[in-house]
Structure 1
Amino acid sequence: METRAPYVMIGAFVMISIAAAFLFILWLGQSQREFDEYDIIFTERVSGLSVGAAVRFNGIQKGEVDELSIDPDDPSIVIARVRVDRDTPVKTDTKAELEFVGFTGLAIIQFVGGSANAPLLKDVSDENAPNIRADTSGFAAFLEGSGDVMAQANRLLSDDNINGISGIIANIETMTAVFAENDEEISETLRSINTITSDLAQVTNKLDAAATGLQTFMESDAPATMEEVEALLTESRALMTDLRAITNENRASLRLFADQGLGQVAPALGEARRLLRTLDAMLREIDRDPNAYFFGERAPEYVGEEE
């Protein structure tokens, strides 16, 4: 027994020394690693977020949550102190969001965005841990909006609306039954509508053809016709000008004829009418019995035989 005791003690000492060396190396690595600290300000619940949760920048893990606390001045605000690698480019316009990992209910902090020209937040902030106000996460927004959606759904599915929908369905069933009973009449009506549509299409085609013909006439024949009309109007104007000139030149003769000649025209017309009546009577006599008219002999009258 005395021989084995030193070996047990030596083995225990060696194991403890190895563990101590491993812990020392781990502590040394942690102490030499450089971090930047930021305070993430949440104005919503941070369910699922805990100390040690990952902090990612555009999906790449760059640190972890070091501390969670509640703002003593405003209990609705949660402050998450995070440590991220010093080379993490957290800009003045970088956003922080609470993001859930799968369906486990665990949450992480996600840094998003940041323009290339924006300065680093740690360079322009005087605080040891600059503040970043977190945006509302998509899941939280969904949870907040789901209450309104459920309320609207409840209003939509109220008893009055359900009764109204039932009435609409009943009316649709009644209309369907009526259509089924009058299927032949509806088919005939549809055929009539189809015929009317065909007739309208033919009329439309004819109107299109007429419009095309009118357009062709206006483009080809109308200019020539207008030129002829203009030429006729020009000749008419010239004729009227000549007549006006002749009238002006013979105004005195026309006035003399109107004063004296028209008085002699009426007796002459009377004599002409009497002459025409005489000629008419003479022609009738010649036509009736030319022999008696020219030779003074009357043609014998025919007397039928007595029975």
Structure 2
Amino acid sequence: METQARYSLIGLFTLCVIAAAFALVYWLRGAGGFSERATYRVVFESPVTGVLPGSPVLFNGIAVGDVTKLHLNPDDPRQVIATLSLAPETPVRVDTQAGLVSQGLMGAPSIALRGGTPAAPRPSSTGGAPVLTADPAATQDVSEAAREALRRLDTLIADNAEPLHGILANLSTFSEALARNSSRLDRILEALERLGGGGPAKAPARIYDLSAPHAFPTLDKVASGQLTVPEPSALVLFDTQKILVRPQMEESLALDAQWSDSLPKLLQAKIIQSFENASYPQAVARPTEGLTADYQLLIDIRSFQVMLLPAPNADVEFSAKILAGDGRLVGSRIVHASVPVQATDAAAAAAGLNEAFSKAATELVLWVASLI
């Protein structure tokens, strides 16, 4: 019995706390609260769709209170009476008008108070809360604004129906084309990535060098005079580091390999080394400032590539001219060497061109030594 009595007291206490909480909430949302509130009534002559108890009340755009009650006038069913609870310092006058405003196109409406002259008295009433004047077109303004916005949207869609249809048709066509070429999409993206400099890092090109010949026959006579070898001249085609292949007479291709230097500079260095390897008795060097030479060896590169027709062969050809110190032409000659190659890959092409150059350089050294 004592246990049941304790449970009854606990239940009664809980119900009292809940009732007190509801009473406090009702009191705070009503005309009371922590501060004094001013109560007004607004009579609307048309529906106030969307306005609910708790909806905000604005005065010149500033929130000053809220709606505490909405009810119909029992004597005139066309009228809706809204009870407002406002801050007491709100400057409401007898000529203040009430209306409805909407917070955006889809926002909930709220009651807006506006107007009122400073000299007008505050509203008063002997029978309940003072009544404010409602703008007759208040609810129509909100509804008309929404209808006008929807009307404009409908007009916009109607005017652009054909372009929108075309856009959707184009999107459908593009989607179908994309589906048909989905298997090629990865390759297209890879090609674009390579075009923009992306993609996996490309393996560096293999580099090859030329070898100056070492074995020379005994010179018929002892050469005299100092010899300089300027950098050979060449067409733009041969002024490169690329190893070239000519598949037909009017076409040259570059292999994925290169010489250790541009071809004119490389030939200049290797020709000088060839004279040195032949034990040329006098000085041979590049032209330098302050060096007075007895002779100049002028080289013009005509061919330095692998010819594929009629049979693969490494072809080296250049013209050579010997000028005396006074500008006199001592001699000129076309030096040509050709060596068959077994394959057209970079390694075989470099080996064949190196062998052909060795033959041409040997012929050049012997010819120059015989003239000077």
TM-score (norm 1): 0.37
Q: Which has the larger radius of gyration?
A: 1
Structure in which a larger fraction of residues adopt strand: 2
TM-score (norm 2): 0.31
